[in-house]
Each structure stands twice: as structure tokens, then as C-alpha cells.
């Protein structure tokens, strides 16, 4: 059972990486600032850094997601219980990843903990469930939406006061065909009438910034800040998610929390590199359009919320926070794709009960075959 548990937790970590690793860098890929390969490479490096730092910074999350205090401790200590929780959460995340839906591994884990615990006849600590799990998970995406809609206008006002203006170009690949003060459908269509596409590239309309701040070109400075903010989100995700999965390995003899965190962090990185493309497309191109300034704002809000939540042991969902900032930005700039947003919200609603059902089913099967 110990070997089976290790393999199943590895599958859950892989699924988490495939569904979550790209979320931090979705804005730099979607905004054309980086290729998919470059973006996922940056996400992997920063996520691994967060996983390593979780060894010293996220002890409370490691304890909470072992199930202690929420589920009866005699049950939590069993390897078969941890294996069933891993199966419930892992299958839920893998199914969502197959359809390109960014869901919360945190919700999947919580659902699997509850479903497996109930199926095993354990009592659930309702007060701990509400205060340590339900409240932060429900509140964090709302906070992300509100914070984004309030902060972006302030940052935009600061940019304008510094004399930094926005420009738009009609481009094919890296070639700039036309630069105007503000891109609209008329200038974009007019430019397309005068060009010939010969290598399969689609013409696109992109936003750049013109101006100098403290002797530094605004566009160059903002691109750098955008990359740093994307890295901060990926770091926050590694810090917040790794201990939640690693906690399931602590029932294994002779495995330390540090080793569990490092093993899970490495497997998450592999999952993102191999199977992260579908969710990457959804996060980058199907929720909203945004320029570098808007992407930087979304990343900044996400990183601040998730890092601080991880520091105090609050199990917020990086997925819900990052998607919340994108939802808020889409509402502010008027480019929100509501059909995609509604499909994501629908997936969120079924994540917890789906994890619970799969966890409970796994426990029932284990009881049948192992007594």
C-alpha cells in the first residue's frame, strides 16, 4: 500500500502541474510577450523555487491538508486513506485538464478528504471546515476580482501622469506593419487589406507603451515587471500548492516533510512541462484580452493574495485567485469572454462534490478488496 500511495500521490502532483503550472504565466503568453516554451520554462523555474521555499514557509498548510483536526486522526494515519484521497483529487484534476478547464486542486483535495472521511465513517469537524477551509476558498476569488477592478484604474492613472502613452500596432509575428495611437477595428482591417500572409502567421493587434520613466523606456520596463510578476505568481503557486499534496505522503515511514515537498514539487514541474498546453490556451486566450499593463496588474494582485495566504496557512486556491483577477480585468477592459468564464465557474461548482464522490468510491473499493 505504501508503494501504491507513492505512485498515486505522484499522479496527483503530475495532474496539479498539468492544470496549474501555466496559470502564473498565462498573461505573458496571451499578451504575446513570450512563446509557450519560454513561458512554461519560466513558470517551471519559479514554481520549483516556491516548492523549495515551502519547506520553511508553509508548515501550517502541510499540517492542515494531512486531514488532522478535520478527520479522525486514527483514519488520517492510514496509508489507504491517503491513497483514496489522492485518487479522488487526482482523477478530478486530470479530467478537467483533459478538457482544458482550470480548476482548483485545493477544492479537489478538500472534496476527496471529506468524501473519503464520510465513507470511512469519520466525524467531520464542522468548525474547522468552515474557518480553515471554506471561508478562505470562497472569499479569495471575490477579493481578487474586487482588488483588480480597484487597483488597475489607479495604476493606469499613475502611468498617464508619468507621461507614458499606449500605442497599438498591426503585426505578423515579430514584424510591425503599422503603429497608431489606439488600435481599433478600422485601422486593423485596413492594414490587413494591404498585406500578404505567406507563412501561416495571423495578423494581430498588439499594445505597446511609449515614453521614458527615470531614463528607462516604458515598454522595456513594463515587460520586465510583467515577467517578474508572472514569476511571483508561479512562486506563490508552488508555495501554496506543494504542501497540500505533500501532506498525503507523511503517513509513509521514514519520509520527512522536506523530502515530501521536494518530490511533489519536482513531479508538479514535470506535469506542467508535458501536459500543460490545454489549460494554457484557456487561461491565455479564452478568458479576456489584455496588454502588458493589465497582465502585470492581474499577476501582482494574484501573487500578493496567494503568498500572504500561504504565509498564514490559509488554503486559498491559486486557480480561483488567478482566474478571479482575469475575470476582473475582463470586466474592466470590456473584453471578458463570458461563455468561457461561465464554463469555468460551472467546473468550479462540481470540483468539490466530484472529488468527494471519487474519494468515497475509492474507499469503498479498497474496503472490498482489502477488507
* 362 Cβ contact list (under 8 Å, min separation 6): 83, 84, 87, 88, 116
Answer for the pair 347, 133: CB distance below 8 angstroms, yes or no: no
Query: What radius of gyration do the chain's Cα atoms show?
Result: 22
Chain centroid to CA 77: 29
200 C-beta neighbours (distance < 10 Å), count: 7
Positive or negative torsion for Cα 130, 136, 140, 143: positive
Q: Return the C-alpha torsion angle 95, 97, 103, 107, nearest 10.
A: 50
Q: How many angstroms separate the CA atoms of 222 and 206, rounded?
A: 14
| pTM for the model | 0.79
User: Can you give the pLDDT of all 371 residues of the chain as single tens digits?
Assistant: 678 888 999 999 999 999 999 988 988 988 777 889 999 999 999 999 998 888 777 666 666 666 667 888 888 888 899 999 999 999 999 999 999 989 988 889 999 999 999 999 988 888 878 877 788 888 889 999 999 999 999 988 988 888 877 666 655 554 555 555 555 444 445 444 454 544 445 555 556 666 766 777 877 888 888 899 999 999 988 888 888 898 888 888 888 888 888 999 999 999 999 998 999 999 888 888 777 788 889 999 999 998 888 777 777 888 889 899 989 998 888 888 888 999 998 998 999 999 999 999 999 998 887 65
pLDDT score at 180? 52
DSSP state of 184: -
Q: Which residues pair with 325 in a beta bridge?
A: none
The 10s digit of each residue's pLDDT in 261-315 is 899 999 999 999 999 899 999 988 888 877 778 888 999 999 999 888 877 777 7
Query: What local confidence, expressed as pLDDT, does residue 333 receive?
Result: 84
Cα 161 off chain centre by: 33
Grid cell 472529488 — which residue?
Answer: 355
DSSP symbol at 89: H
The percentage of residues in the chain with a pLDDT greater than 70, rounded to a whole number, is 83
DSSP 36-87: HHHHHHHHHHHHHHHHHHHHHH-HHHHHHTTTBTTB-HHHHT-HHHHHHHHH
For 71, the 3-state DSSP assignment is strand
Query: What is the model's pLDDT at position 33?
Result: 79
What pLDDT sits at residue 42?
Answer: 95
**CB-CB contact of 209 with 227 (8 Å):** no
Average pLDDT of the residues of the chain: 83
Alpha helices per DSSP H over 105-194: 105-119, 126-128, 135-161, 185-193
CA nearest neighbour of 90 among 1, 6, 10: 10
Q: Which single residue is written with the C-alpha cell 497540500?
A: 244
C-alpha distance across the termini of the chain, in Å: 13
Distance (Å, rounded) from C-alpha 268 to C-alpha 264? Answer: 6
pLDDT of amino acid 12? 93
As a 3-state breakdown, the chain gives helix, strand, coil percent values, each rounded to 5, of 75, 10, 20
Report the pLDDT value the prediction gives residue 188, as an integer from 0 to 100: 45
Amino acid at each position: 500500500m505504501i508503494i501504491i500511495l507513492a505512485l498515486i500521490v505522484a499522479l496527483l502532483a503530475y495532474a496539479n502541474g498539468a492544470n496549474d503550472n501555466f496559470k502564473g504565466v498565462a498573461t505573458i503568453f496571451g499578451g504575446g510577450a513570450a512563446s509557450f516554451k519560454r513561458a512554461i520554462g519560466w513558470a517551471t523555474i519559479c514554481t520549483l523555487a516556491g516548492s523549495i521555499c515551502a519547506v520553511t514557509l508553509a508548515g501550517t498548510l502541510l499540517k492542515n491538508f494531512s486531514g488532522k483536526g478535520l478527520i479522525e486522526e486514527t483514519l488520517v494515519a492510514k496509508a489507504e486513506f491517503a491513497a483514496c484521497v489522492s485518487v479522488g483529487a487526482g482523477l478530478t484534476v486530470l479530467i478537467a485538464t483533459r478538457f482544458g478547464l482550470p480548476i482548483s486542486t485545493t477544492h479537489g483535495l478538500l472534496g476527496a478528504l471529506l468524501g473519503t472521511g464520510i465513507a470511512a465513517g469519520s466525524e467531520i469537524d464542522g468548525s474547522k471546515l468552515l474557518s480553515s477551509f471554506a471561508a478562505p476558498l470562497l472569499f479569495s476569488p471575490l477579493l481578487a476580482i474586487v482588488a483588480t477592478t480597484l487597483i488597475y484604474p489607479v495604476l493606469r492613472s499613475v502611468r498617464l501622469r508619468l507621461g507614458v502613452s499606449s500605442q497599438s500596432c498591426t503585426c505578423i509575428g515579430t514584424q510591425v506593419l503599422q503603429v497608431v495611437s489606439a488600435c481599433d477595428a478600422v485601422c486593423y482591417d485596413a492594414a490587413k487589406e494591404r498585406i500578404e500572409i505567406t507563412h501561416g502567421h495571423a495578423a494581430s493587434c498588439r499594445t505597446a507603451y511609449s515614453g521614458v520613466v527615470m531614463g528607462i523606456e516604458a515598454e522595456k520596463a513594463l515587460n520586465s515587471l510583467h515577467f517578474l510578476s508572472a514569476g511571483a505568481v508561479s512562486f506563490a503557486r508552488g508555495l501554496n500548492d506543494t504542501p497540500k499534496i505533500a501532506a498525503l505522503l507523511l503517513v509513509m515511514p521514514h519520509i520527512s516533510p522536506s523530502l515530501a515537498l521536494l518530490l511533489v514539487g519536482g513531479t508538479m514541474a514535470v506535469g506542467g512541462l508535458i501536459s500543460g498546453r490545454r489549460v494554457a490556451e484557456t487561461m491565455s486566450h479564452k478568458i479576456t484580452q489584455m496588454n502588458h499593463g493589465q497582465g502585470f496588474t492581474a499577476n501582482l494582485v494574484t501573487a500578493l493574495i496567494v503568498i500572504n495566504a500561504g504565509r498564514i496557512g490559509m488554503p486559498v486556491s491559486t486557480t480561483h485567485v488567478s482566474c478571479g483577477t482575469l475575470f476582473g480585468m475582463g470586466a474592466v477592459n470590456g473584453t471578458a469572454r463570458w461563455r468561457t468564464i461561465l464554463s469555468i465557474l460551472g467546473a468550479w461548482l462540481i470540483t468539490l462534490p466530484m472529488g468527494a464522490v471519487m474519494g468515497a468510491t475509492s474507499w469503498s473499493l479498497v474496503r472490498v478488496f482489502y477488507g
